[in-house]
């Protein structure tokens, strides 16, 4: 089993740290995020919604709130003395409660707040700094890698789910555990590709318990995509430079 690496030592580099530091000035300060979350209501409404959707609120490691979220630019708010163009979130219960809000903890610290919009299950975060839900669970002999936030919630916050919409190199954090269990073949193979460099030997560390039908459909779709890509490249050589995933 590999040595435990529960923090980002596997993928942090000076380039990443520079941009993290640069972008921090455009994020809502974590103290402000925490104060707004703690001041809002919506605990009972969140529990009701979770139960209705088959999620046991008592198994979650946090107490979410169901609120209405509004977003403004700091330039439009006179109370902000030094605007920088960041988004400012506000929670209330005056309109339809459309968003489940909860703290995101990593390395034992609250670093961000998750926003799960219940109408379409679109997910984002307040500060755009968190990359994992359940990051502290990426440790030890094994971890369950979920493919979406709702599955992670249904599991009571056990395991982890990758939530960064832009970066993929932090998936190398999965190298800190011996076995990655995943019920979605696409999610598992993406983690293997980005987290382990598509090393054939590393596939032994993945336990994919997806259904045979989903696995077959995944590889069929991949084969069709490659065929279309190859056909376009053959018809228009050096024009598109398409690469089949």
Per-residue confidence of the chain (245 residues) as pLDDT tens digits? 344 433 456 566 777 778 888 888 889 999 999 999 999 999 999 999 999 999 999 999 999 999 999 988 888 888 888 888 888 889 988 889 999 999 999 999 999 999 999 999 999 999 999 999 999 999 999 999 999 999 999 999 999 999 998 888 889 999 999 999 999 999 999 999 999 999 999 999 999 998 989 889 888 887 877 777 777 777 777 766 655 55
Q: Where are the beta strands (DSSP E) in the chain?
A: 65-73, 87-92, 99-106, 109-117, 122-125, 132-133, 142-146, 160-162, 179-182, 206-208
Please name every residue paired with 115 in a beta bridge, in sequence order, or none if there are none: 101, 124
What residues contact 12, with CB distance under 8 A and at least 6 apart?
none
pTM (2 d.p.): 0.84
Helix 212-235 / helix 185-196 crossing angle, nearest 10 deg: 60
Identify the H or E element spanning 149: helix 149-154
At 72, is the secondary structure helix, strand, or coil?
Answer: strand
């Amino acid at each position: 089993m590999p040595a435990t690496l529960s923090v980002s030592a596997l993928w942090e580099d000076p380039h990443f740290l520079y941009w993290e530091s640069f972008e921090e000035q455009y994020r809502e300060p974590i103290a402000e995020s925490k104060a707004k979350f703690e001041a809002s209501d919506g605990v009972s409404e969140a529990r009701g919604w979770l139960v209705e959707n088959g999620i046991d609120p008592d198994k979650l490691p946090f107490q979410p709130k169901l609120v209405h979220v509004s977003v403004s630019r700091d330039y439009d708010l006179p109370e902000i003395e030094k605007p920088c163009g960041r988004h400012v979130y506000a929670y209330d219960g005056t309109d339809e409660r459309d968003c489940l809000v909860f703290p995101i903890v990593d390395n034992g610290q609250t670093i961000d707040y998750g926003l799960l919009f219940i109408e379409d299950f679109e997910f984002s975060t307040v500060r755009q700094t968190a990359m994992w839900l359940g990051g502290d669970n990426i440790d030890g002999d094994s971890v369950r890698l979920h493919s979406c936030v709702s599955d992670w919630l249904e599991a009571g916050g056990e395991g982890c789910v990758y939530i960064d919409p832009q970066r993929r190199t932090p998936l190398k954090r999965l190298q800190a555990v011996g076995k990655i269990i995943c019920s979605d073949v696409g999610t598992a193979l993406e983690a293997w590709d980005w987290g382990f460099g598509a090393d054939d030997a590393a596939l032994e560390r993945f336990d994919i318990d997806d259904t045979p039908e989903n696995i077959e459909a995944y590889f069929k779709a991949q084969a069709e995509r490659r065929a279309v890509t190859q056909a376009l490249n053959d018809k228009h050589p050096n024009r598109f430079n398409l690469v089949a995933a």
